[in-house]
């Protein structure tokens, strides 16, 4: 086994001065934390320790059988799968059920969403350029709906804008869409009916059309996910649908780190990642360790002459961006939105700014006011202590059904992320087509930063 891909052992972790020093330091700080009386929602961040990012590989994409049969690389939808279809007189028939669902955002939090076929996002529709498709949309929602096929070129009456192109699909009824896929690319589907509510509750999915020629635009790995955002207060399960900009849950496919599936590649493979944005703000998506090019948008494939090297690409509202790169650097590489508040969980955004404030006297005063209470100051030395508080859930009262601001446990300590964040794991000995998580990367000797006094 290649040493570089072997997960570090416990004993090798103990040798790392950074981990032990920081932990000791943090342990001492714990006693001085303060969960302030009124404003410091941050104190509520003391939640049960979340699972590490090294979660078991979740359900991988189930490709359309002819996608795989044609030699194409099937799409892997993060934490999701592709929709099965049946052939009726030469037409591929897909069935979507719009319905209320319940789904885990990350360990410690479940939410009531609206989705398709039991999940948000709904299953990815995968088909091939030239296919004739018929899509049944059964409405099990308490209100009417439609589906708009974002980016696809189709007859006007199939475009799905309720009231404009068609009558709404009433609750209990089924709408049918039928059109021919005239171009390959990366598209989305979502309601064009009561959008503010229906998208705020998770109704969306990806629609991927493979080129007719299996050798065109071939990659070795093909990942896809949607960006979505929700506003779900602690101790509740339903997103506030009137929220316009101040969301508190920033997700890849309606999950937050560390529940987002890890991306895996064998060293040297060509990797494609398709990202769609159905939130209400833009997301600069950033990949570590590699240089990529934007090879597609929702308008189609970008000609090679119009591509340039990037490590971050902004995905604006309602846009799709397809990035491609050669996974030439072994390691565990962060892949995330670069807005730092989008890599944080829902807790504690209303905290007063305590940076640089000596809270020792305040702690004493509050403990006099509340005899018998164990009171802890927080935020004097930065927010990294948030993750530590999240790790000591048994010491503090917990709000129900929410997530810490900063979470995720790596091989060298807390990762301190929580929203739109996952990891790309590149390994020399990962088998082609193997999407299982290879564990943490072991740094080759002499290639890791170190701490001095």
Name the site residues for Cu ion (rule: CB under 5 A): 283, 337, 339, 342
> Helix, strand, or coil here: 394?
helix
Closest to Cu ion by CB, 96 or 275: 275
Cα four-point dihedral sign 353, 356, 360, 362: negative
**Least separation in angstroms between CB 369 and Cu ion:** 40
Closest to Cu ion by CB, 192 or 342: 342
Per DSSP (E only), the strands in 299-379 are 300-301, 309-310, 312-315, 320-326, 331-337
Per DSSP (E only), the strands in 76-203 are 76-77, 86-88, 91-106, 109-116, 125-128, 132-139, 148-150, 174-180, 185-190
Closest to Cu ion by CB, 173 or 341: 341
C-alpha span between 343 and 47 (Å, rounded): 17
**Least separation in angstroms between CB 350 and Cu ion:** 20
Closest to Cu ion by CB, 285 or 389: 285
**Least separation in angstroms between CB 194 and Cu ion:** 25
**Least separation in angstroms between CB 336 and Cu ion:** 8
- Count of residues making up the chain: 453
Closest to Cu ion by CB, 123 or 408: 408
Cα four-point dihedral sign 151, 153, 155, 156: positive
> Which ranges constitute the DSSP H helices of 99-219?
195-200
**Least separation in angstroms between CB 284 and Cu ion:** 7
Report the largest interatomic distance among the alpha carbons of the chain, rounded to a whole angstrom: 79
Place of tokens 């129900």: 400
**Least separation in angstroms between CB 320 and Cu ion:** 15
- b (16+ CB within 10 A) / e for 218-236: ebbbbbbbbbbbbbbebee
**Least separation in angstroms between CB 72 and Cu ion:** 30
C-alpha span between 62 and 59 (Å, rounded): 9
> Helix, strand, or coil here: 212?
coil
Closest to Cu ion by CB, 135 or 224: 224
Closest to Cu ion by CB, 225 or 440: 225
Closest to Cu ion by CB, 100 or 318: 318
**Least separation in angstroms between CB 315 and Cu ion:** 8
């Amino acid at each position: 086994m290649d040493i570089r891909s072997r997960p570090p052992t416990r004993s090798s972790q103990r040798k790392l001065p950074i981990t032990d020093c920081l932990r000791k330091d943090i342990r001492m700080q714990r006693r001085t934390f303060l969960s302030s009386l009124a404003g410091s929602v941050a104190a509520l961040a003391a939640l049960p320790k979340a699972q590490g990012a090294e979660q078991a590989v979740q359900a991988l994409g189930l490709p359309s059988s002819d996608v795989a049969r044609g030699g194409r690389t099937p799409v892997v939808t993060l934490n999701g799968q592709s929709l099965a279809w049946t052939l009726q007189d030469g037409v591929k028939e897909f069935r979507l059920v719009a319905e209320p669902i319940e789904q885990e955002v990350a360990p410690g939090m479940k939410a009531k969403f609206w989705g398709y076929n039991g999940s948000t996002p709904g299953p990815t529709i995968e088909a091939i350029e030239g296919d004739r498709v018929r899509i049944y949309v059964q409405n099990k929602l308490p209100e009417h709906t439609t589906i708009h096929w974002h980016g696809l070129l189709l007859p006007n009456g199939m475009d799905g804008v309720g009231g404009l192109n068609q009558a709404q699909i009433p609750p209990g009824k089924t709408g049918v869409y039928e059109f021919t896929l005239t171009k390959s690319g990366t598209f989305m589907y979502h309601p064009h009916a009561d959008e503010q509510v229906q998208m705020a509750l998770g109704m969306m999915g990806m629609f991927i059309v493979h080129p007719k020629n299996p050798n065109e635009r071939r990659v070795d790995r093909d990942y896809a996910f949607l960006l979505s955002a929700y506003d779900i207060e602690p101790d509740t399960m339903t997103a506030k649908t009137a929220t316009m900009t101040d969301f508190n849950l920033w997700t890849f496919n309606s999950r937050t780190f560390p529940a987002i599936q890890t991306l895996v590649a064998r060293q040297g493979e060509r990797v494609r990642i398709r990202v769609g944005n159905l939130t209400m703000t833009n997301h600069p998506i950033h990949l570590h360790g590699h240089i990529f090019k934007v090879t597609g948008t929702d308008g189609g494939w970008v000609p090679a002459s119009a591509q340039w090297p990037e490590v971050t690409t902004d995905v604006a509202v309602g846009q799709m961006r397809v990035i491609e790169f050669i996974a030439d650097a072994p390691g565990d590489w962060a892949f995330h939105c670069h807005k730092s508040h989008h890599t944080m969980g829902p807790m504690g955004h209303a905290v007063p700014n305590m940076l640089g404030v000596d809270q020792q006297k305040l702690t004493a005063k509050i403990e006099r006011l509340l005899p018998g209470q164990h009171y802890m100051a927080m935020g004097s030395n930065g927010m990294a202590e948030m993750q530590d508080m999240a790790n000591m859930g048994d010491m503090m009262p917990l709000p129900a059904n929410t997530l810490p601001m900063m979470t995720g446990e790596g091989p060298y300590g807390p990762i301190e992320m929580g929203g739109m964040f996952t990891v790309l794991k590149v390994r020399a000995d990962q088998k082609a087509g193997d999407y299982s998580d290879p564990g943490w990367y072991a740094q080759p000797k002499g290639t890791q930063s170190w701490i001095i006094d």
